[in-house]
Structure 1
Amino acid sequence: MQPEMGSEGSSRVVIPRSLRLLGELERGEKGIGDGTVSYGMDDADDVYMQSWTGTIIGPPNEFCPLIWFLG
């Protein structure tokens, strides 16, 4: 990561996409958000991050909400 000069001479750091993906993965695994979608790694030892699983709960305000599992 190399700092870049922003406006007014302040420096900023450009974060590589791979690190942002890890942050998104962490939020998905912890269920941060409205709770209708969660996702994460199928295998925590998969260093290539190719195997994912997800859950969608919806629609909201239903007597018996549907739950979809994606893999």
Structure 2
Amino acid sequence: MPVRILSEAANSDEASADTVAPVEDVHQLRVSIPDIEPEVWRRIHVYSQTPLSGLHAVIQVAMGWDDAPEKSISRVP
């Protein structure tokens, strides 16, 4: 099942003078399943350095999926 991901920056460029460690960029993603009514979507936040495997895991949890192979149901006449 295809998943559509739209990205937008979730943090601002403003930094506090008290910051002692570099702040990693965080991105807000809108993940949706196309061609489904009503629309199914989730808003997630991930760090810039999140590997693709980590993004995969985050999407799985956000959508309530268990990383199982896609199942199909067919009607028997």
TM-score (norm: length of structure 1): 0.34
State the structure with bigger RCO (CA 8 A, min sep 6), 1 or 2: 2
Identify, as 1 or 2, the structure richer in helix.
1
TM-score (norm: length of structure 2): 0.32
